[in-house]
Structure 1
Amino acid sequence: MKKIFIITERRADYSRFKPIMNLIKKDHYLDYILVVTGAHLRKEMGYTKDEILRDGFKIDYEIDMFKDDSDSGGAMVRSFSRVAEKVTFCLEECSPDLILAGFDIGANLAVTIAGAHMNIPVAHIQGGEVTGTIDESIRHAMTKFSHYHFASNEDALNRLVKLGEVRERIFNVGCPSIDAILDTPDNPDILNKYNLSKDNYFILLQHPVTSEMEKSKHQIQTTLSAIDKSKINVLIILPNNDAGFSEIIKELKNSKINYVESLGISDYINLLKRSSGLIGNSSSGIHETSTFNIPTVNIGSRQTGRLRPKNVFDVDHNEEQIVLAINKCIEFKRNKIKVKNPYGDGKSASRIIEIIKKIDLSNKIIQKTITY
């Protein structure tokens, strides 16, 4: 039996790991070891560890990485260092056959680096994507510490080849978050739960950009001003805790717009697919909204360069541009425009599982050499 080590820090990575872990649970030849850390263990971020347990997953280890409440790049590095140290003890104790890491999230970077140093094969989900900001640097660093790569599209696959990775170890499987959202049961009562009117609200999810953290306050003020000018109903989801988050949260809480600290996968997907659009800079606006033909107002640089479906309207932190994009979203919904999601078809998890069963996990693949 192959033991697969997974660490999850927040909703963004859990939503992608969930369909994979569901398939592992059903497979006689595979087992998973799950570490929960980061936002999952913070009450002010929804304590989403409870959601993981409700979904029927066992949790093998917990690592408290966010002990520093200061809002700075230094605090992010200190959090990273905590999980990087503690995850090594988990790895030594459970001796996994494979680390399944992903995306551009700190805890996943930590376990990728640890695995490479501890001679444990690492498979990375969604490498090769262009995202801008510190996230892109993290993502490409993880690529270089990983031995196998599960790309979400052909564009990302080609970039991984250009990064010097062995072509035979790169697989175009799509993004497993599409599996998760398509597997989410419909909840017709979701609007009543959040006091919303049918097809008459937007969702706002705007995260800090670490390289622009000193502009966070002005950026969110511009977004809120555009929303006020557009006279639209909005449900706010508070941002992650990357550097620059505190100014954003302060402005959002003072805006008198309804907000939630966090949403589980089920509530988020059910709200998203009934909405008039997603406003902000979340990767969900690039990866997920097109599956439901929901338009996105993508603001600023956080998703710069990422492959886009045709439902995405890119704008700067400019009130007039945001208002115009909101109007385009309303028109998009009114015309019932259909688009194709370039990030997958809902079958990514099954492809990943089948590949994991076949790949070589011996010491022969540990030593990496750039291909050019």
Structure 2
Amino acid sequence: MKKIVFVSGTRADFSKIKSLMMKVENSNEFELFIFVTGMHMSKKFGSTYMEIEKCGFKNIYKYINHDKYYQMDKALSSTIDGFSKFIHEIEPDLIVVHGDRVEPLAAAIVGSLNNILVAHIEGGELSGTIDESLRHAISKLAHIHLVNDEIAKKRLIQMGEDEKSIFIIGSPDLELLNNTISLDEAKKYYDIKFKNYAIAIFHPITTEINSLYKQSEEFVNALIKSEKNYIVIYPNNDLGFELILQNYERLKNNERFKIFPSLRFEYFISLLKNANFIIGNSSCIIKEALYLNINGILVGSRQDGRTDINKTIRVNAEEKDILEAILNTSKCT
């Protein structure tokens, strides 16, 4: 029986690979192993490794790759060390990684240097930040490419990848979007009283660290002044996340805001389906939200270069522009 290892470091990548992991787990031809690390292991960000455990997967290996202060270079080094020990123990036939973070990069480095096949999901995309460099580095280390669309495929070919190794599969989490719980159940689970609301997610832009506090301050100012109700989800743990959380402190005693370190994916999708709009700089705005026909407001440069359509409004990370977009979007909902 062939052994396949999936690597998951964040709530976001788990949602992308969960359906594939379930198919492998239920197969008679493969044995599934899951290497869980990164944000999953952080109490501050909701200890989301527990969501993976609740799925009932048999072979879950948990690894803490950083201490209280997350530094990307040290996390990369630590993950390489931990993952190397792991794969030498189980000797997998295939390593599956997703996206553009240091955890999949570490796994791709270990796999390629140990002559183990590496499959990369969602390579060939642009984002205009350090994430883009990491994504392309992972693609160059991978042997199999599972991409979203023809544009990503062409970009990988331009990077020198063999066309025969590239397969268009779409976004693998989309099939989970129809398997969600009811809105009432989601609201009850998270004690959300709002009838009407929007969702806000703002991640760090590591290449803009010097202006990040100001950007997140402008973002929070606009949310408050809009006088709308918001479900706010913590940023990822990239460099600068503390600056965003400092500004979120202003929201904690405001009855119009419910703030969460993380939401279970099925519950999040139920809330997203019924939101008036979603705002911030998460890729969810140009993927899941577009698929569900939910209005999105992209703030700042984090998703520059990625495909979207007219349903998405792009604005600078400035209070006036953000507030204007919120008010205009609200008129259409």
| Partner in structure 2 of residue 102 of structure 1 | 98
| Partner in structure 1 of residue 299 of structure 2 | 299
Which of 246, 251, 266 is equivalent to 1:250?
246
The answer as to whether partners of 1:214 and 1:244 remain within 8 angstroms in 2 is no
| Count of residues in Structure 1 that have an aligned counterpart in Structure 2 | 328
The 5-angstrom pairing of residues 97-176 of structure 1 reads: 97-176=93-172
Deviations 1:229-255 (A, max 9, x none): 222111211111110111110110222
- The DSSP-based 3-state class of the residue aligned with 2:247 is helix
The answer as to whether partners of 2:181 and 2:267 remain within 8 angstroms in 1 is no
Counterpart amino acid of 1:310? N
Q: Aligned partners of 1:251, 1:129: CA distance in 2, in Å? A: 30
Counterpart amino acid of 1:120? I
- The DSSP-based 3-state class of the residue aligned with 2:120 is strand
Counterpart amino acid of 1:272? L
Structure 1: state its 5+ residue gaps: 335-372
Q: TM-score, normalised by structure 2?
A: 0.95
| Partner in structure 2 of residue 359 of structure 1 | none
The answer as to whether partners of 2:53 and 2:60 remain within 8 angstroms in 1 is no
| Partner in structure 2 of residue 272 of structure 1 | 272
Deviations 1:27-74 (A, max 9, x none): 11122111111111111111111111111113432111121426xxxx
The 5-angstrom pairing of residues 42-81 of structure 1 reads: 42-69=42-69, 75-81=71-77
Q: Aligned partners of 1:301, 1:283: CA distance in 2, in Å? A: 12
Q: In the TM superposition, what is the alpha-carbon distance from 1:312 to its structure 2 partner?
A: 1.2
| Partner in structure 1 of residue 217 of structure 2 | 221
| Partner in structure 1 of residue 16 of structure 2 | 16
Counterpart amino acid of 1:319? E
Q: Aligned partners of 2:215, 2:54: CA distance in 1, in Å? A: 36
The answer as to whether partners of 1:129 and 1:306 remain within 8 angstroms in 2 is yes
Which of 196, 216, 221 is equivalent to 2:193?
196
Q: In the TM superposition, what is the alpha-carbon distance from 1:328 to its structure 2 partner?
A: 3.4
The answer as to whether partners of 1:253 and 1:259 remain within 8 angstroms in 2 is no
Which of 166, 181, 184 is equivalent to 2:180?
184
Deviations 1:297-352 (A, max 9, x none): 111111110011332111111222212221332244x3xxxxxxxxxxxxxxxxxx
Q: In the TM superposition, what is the alpha-carbon distance from 1:93 to its structure 2 partner?
A: 0.9
Counterpart amino acid of 1:212? E
Alignment partner of 1:212 is 2:203: no
Q: In the TM superposition, what is the alpha-carbon distance from 1:184 to its structure 2 partner?
A: 2.7
The answer as to whether partners of 1:68 and 1:79 remain within 8 angstroms in 2 is no
CA RMSD after TM alignment:
1.4
The answer as to whether partners of 1:289 and 1:296 remain within 8 angstroms in 2 is yes
Deviations 1:242-277 (A, max 9, x none): 101111101102223331111111221111111111
Alignment partner of 1:93 is 2:125: no
Q: In terms of mean alpha carbon deviation, does 182-191 or 203-212 score higher? A: 182-191
Runs of 4+ in 1 over 6 A off after TM superposition: none
The answer as to whether partners of 1:181 and 1:269 remain within 8 angstroms in 2 is yes
Q: TM-score, normalised by structure 1?
A: 0.85
- The DSSP-based 3-state class of the residue aligned with 2:167 is strand
Q: Aligned partners of 2:43, 2:224: CA distance in 1, in Å? A: 30
Q: Aligned partners of 1:230, 1:239: CA distance in 2, in Å? A: 21
Q: Aligned partners of 1:209, 1:179: CA distance in 2, in Å? A: 29
Counterpart amino acid of 1:98? L
Counterpart amino acid of 1:167? E
The answer as to whether partners of 1:36 and 1:59 remain within 8 angstroms in 2 is no
| Partner in structure 2 of residue 349 of structure 1 | none
Structure 2: state its 5+ residue gaps: none
| Partner in structure 2 of residue 318 of structure 1 | 318
| Partner in structure 2 of residue 31 of structure 1 | 31
| Partner in structure 2 of residue 364 of structure 1 | none
Q: In terms of mean alpha carbon deviation, does 44-53 or 178-187 score higher? A: 178-187
Counterpart amino acid of 2:294? I
- The DSSP-based 3-state class of the residue aligned with 2:187 is helix
Counterpart amino acid of 1:297? I
- The DSSP-based 3-state class of the residue aligned with 2:34 is strand
Q: Aligned partners of 1:20, 1:100: CA distance in 2, in Å? A: 10
Q: In terms of mean alpha carbon deviation, does 301-310 or 56-65 score higher? A: 56-65
The answer as to whether partners of 1:121 and 1:147 remain within 8 angstroms in 2 is yes
| Partner in structure 1 of residue 226 of structure 2 | 230
Q: Aligned partners of 2:74, 2:147: CA distance in 1, in Å? A: 30
The answer as to whether partners of 2:180 and 2:267 remain within 8 angstroms in 1 is no
Q: In the TM superposition, what is the alpha-carbon distance from 1:225 to its structure 2 partner?
A: 1.3
- The DSSP-based 3-state class of the residue aligned with 1:93 is helix
Q: Aligned partners of 1:291, 1:81: CA distance in 2, in Å? A: 37
- The DSSP-based 3-state class of the residue aligned with 1:275 is coil
Deviations 1:54-105 (A, max 9, x none): 11113432111121426xxxx2111111011110011111111111111112
Higher RCO structure, 1 or 2 (CA under 8 Å, sep 6+): 1
The answer as to whether partners of 2:183 and 2:271 remain within 8 angstroms in 1 is no
Counterpart amino acid of 1:136? E
The answer as to whether partners of 1:278 and 1:285 remain within 8 angstroms in 2 is yes
